[in-house]
Amino acid sequence: MLKTEIEKALDVLRNGGVILYPTDTVWGLGCDATNEAAAAKINAIKGRSDDKSFIILLDTDSKVQSYVTEVPDVAYDLIEFAENPLTLIFSGAKNLAQNVINADGSVGIRVVKHEFCTPLLQRFRKPITSTSANISGQPAPKFFDEIDENILAAVDYVVDWEQELRTPRKPSTIMKLGAGGQFSFIRR
């Protein structure tokens, strides 16, 4: 049941743990984006360097300004009118764990519209990291049953939702926003 899975995931997030969860794109590894130790645990699980930043998920665009110093007006239009999952890279990240933020001070933010993620984020009231559930250097799994057994064993909780889903999903489009509302595609 969805409500039960959200409660279990919330408990893990609130206690600094890592969840394996379905998102609006691929299966992800998530933690409290304000908890440096939890973000470091995800890097250890994935076997990736500590200097890689994370995408963070939010449930509404009204929370973006809580995590970046300046939000260009075009960002709200891009979020509102995006037909597919869209991650925007903003300069001037704030109020996040230092190891979640890119070395240049930027952060990728995706506002999700997803049956599991949206209510989880509403209840958690903080951003959650999202990185694909794969060992660094390996392809992102398209389906739950493609997730590496080492990842399944290393996380604190595996969400029991959409595990049987066979609709292929792909990572989000990524756009970098610049001063004055300029933007460029990083990944389409």
Residue 15 has pLDDT above 80, yes or no: yes
Across residues 159-177, what is the average pLDDT? 90
Residue 181 has pLDDT above 80, yes or no: no
CA distances from 180 to 4, 49, 74, 91, 134 (A): 44, 32, 9, 12, 36
CB 158 within 8 A of CB 20: yes
Across residues 149-178, what is the average pLDDT? 92
Model confidence at 157, pLDDT cuts 50, 70, 90, reads: very high
Residue 179 has pLDDT above 80, yes or no: no
Q: What is the mean pLDDT of the chain?
A: 94
The CATH code belonging to domain 2-187 is 3.90.870.10
Nearest CA-CA partner of 32 in 8, 57, 52, 53:
57
Q: For the chain, what is the largest distance between any 2 Cα atoms, rounded to a whole number of angstroms?
A: 45
Can you give the pLDDT at residue 171? Answer: 85
pLDDT tens-digit map of 38-95? 999 999 999 998 888 899 999 999 999 999 999 998 999 999 999 899 999 999 999 9
Greater confidence, 9 or 178?
Answer: 9
Model confidence at 182, pLDDT cuts 50, 70, 90, reads: confident
Q: Provide the percentage of residues in the chain whose pLDDT is more than 70.
A: 100
Q: Provide the percentage of residues in the chain whose pLDDT is more than 90.
A: 84
Can you give the pLDDT at residue 113? Answer: 92
N-term to C-term CA, the chain: 34
What are the extents of the domains in the chain?
2-187
Residue 159 has pLDDT above 90, yes or no: yes
85-89, 108-112, 171-175 — which is least confidently predicted? 171-175
Q: Which residue has the tokens 């389409």?
A: 188
Give the residues across from 28 on adjacent strands: 21, 132
Model confidence at 186, pLDDT cuts 50, 70, 90, reads: confident
Nearest CA-CA partner of 52 in 101, 106, 105, 108:
101
